[in-house]
Chain A
Amino acid sequence: MNTLLKIGEFYIEAQEQLQLLLLTPEADMNRFIRTDKLNNPGLELAGFWQHFLPDRIQILTIKELNFLNNLTEAALISIFTKMFSYNIPALICICEGDIPKKICQLANDTFTPVFISRIESLRFLKEAGSYLYSKFAPRTSIHGTLIDIYGVGVLLTGRSGIGKSEIALDLVERGHRLVADDLVNVEKTSDTVLMGYAEKLLQDHIEIRGVGIINIRKTFGIRATRTRKRIEVQIELSDWNREEDVERFGLVDVYQEILDVDIPFVRLPIYPGKNVTVIAEVVALNHLLKLIGEHPAQELQENLTRQIKHKQAQHEDFGLSDDFE
């Protein structure tokens, strides 16, 4: 993850949401933010800099500002000369009143961006945190098709030309919703959640070989597409091969890692005449069943084991056990 975010971009994009106001006209807006974490200096203001985190945006709230207001100008100069010497990405003060002029002056001299925000500090931290988290979220893109089937985000993958788009079209016809075709952008929004969405240019479009580009939304209406969907199951389509083992029971759930998130995985060999559309629906429904704790394959296995044990016991009753032989 090598995301770099310029302070200038941050200011433009988050200005409204975070109600940011730039206090230092000379600031270098090309400084980089390299992490989604914020830092709230505390002990540093008292002179303890050993654990200072200069890569982060520095946040001062009313508490720190009140503390600073009680310091002499010499002390302020000493603290902020030190802080700005680290080339911090920015300093943001969250308060209702003014901040000491000396701070802005020192910042301006060192081209350090200083912002003030009037919104409540907890709300500020929450919104800034989620903005930055999403900016720095691990992301990737996958060659495949993402469809919302009965509310389950199903990612279809497989070699080019195997029929992903045709299956997607079929699924849309049956009332399901297309998220992205051919190229699925994936964003990890938390440790266990992957969100998929289409490339802006390609959104709502699908390529059907022999016909060309189709606009699904215009053709089928607003119900046929959606902009984002969590990826919950992956179905990999493959050419059928007699020599390869395919899943016959489904006793053990198989997962595939995408951005370190385990996604339930189904490998589906296809051949002419196989109705992959309905199978994809069944995979989605089976996923929903598993979510509420039902596992058809495991239940059948339990019944079978019980039946085998029962037979075994009968043998033993009749003295037919192996030991007896």
Chain B
Amino acid sequence: MKLTREIEILNSQGLHARPATALVNLTSRFKSQLFLVRDEKKINAKSILGVLVLAAEKGAKLRVEAEGTDAQQALDAIAELAVNKFGMSEE
């Protein structure tokens, strides 16, 4: 089962080191395969270097693809993390 959802980056400084770290720490806990897609780039959402390559700025819209037994939970959790600005309260 493959699920997708779109998330928007709300952090004023974009998806820099700290939010990217928060994202991979979250995605690494799921068994599903997780990908982030932006334009022609599709990266593994559990890879910190992959997430950095996206260099997602504020307002960027990313498609999350999830495939696996906990795909739905993963998408929900990632969407929630994005809404919470990846736990970066100071932004």
Contact = CB atoms under 8 A, between A and B. Distances in A.
B24 A248 contact: yes
Contact of A305 (B16, B21, B59): B16
A301 B25 contact: no
A10 B13 CA distance: 63
Give the interface size bracket for B toward A.
20 to 34
B41 interface: no
A297 B21 CA distance: 12
Contacts of B48: 248-249
B1 to A, nearest CB: 21
B13 A315 contact: no
Contacts of B60: 311
B55 A304 contact: yes
B52 A251 contact: no
**Per DSSP, are chain B's interface residues mostly helix, strand or loop, or mixed?**
loop
Contacts of A246: 25
Given A248-B48, A249-B48, A308 B14 contact: yes
A243 B29 contact: yes
Contacts of A315: 57, 59
A93 to B, nearest CB: 64
B71 interface: no
B20 A242 contact: no
A300 B52 contact: yes
B70 to A, nearest CB: 12
Contact of A320 (B13, B24, B28, B59): B59
A312 B29 contact: no
Interface residues of A, number: 21
Contact of A304 (B16, B25, B28, B29): B16
A249 B21 contact: yes
A122 to B, nearest CB: 53
Contacts of B16: 301, 304-305, 308
B15 interface: yes
Nearest to B31: A242
Contacts of B24: 248
Interface in B7-35: 13-18, 20-21, 24-25, 28-29
A317 interface: no
B58 interface: yes
Interface in A266-320: 297, 300-301, 304-305, 307-309, 311-312, 315, 320
B78 interface: no
A98 interface: no
Contacts of A251: 17-18, 21
A308 B14 CA distance: 6
A297 B14 CA distance: 17
Contacts of A309: 57
Contacts of A320: 59
Which of A246, A307, A320, A322 has the most B CB atoms < 10 Å from its CB?
A307
Nearest to A305: B16
A245 interface: yes
Which 10 pairs, one residue from A and one from B, show the smallest C-beta to C-beta distance? Answer: A308-B14, A311-B57, A307-B55, A301-B17, A245-B25, A248-B48, A312-B57, A308-B57, A249-B21, A251-B17
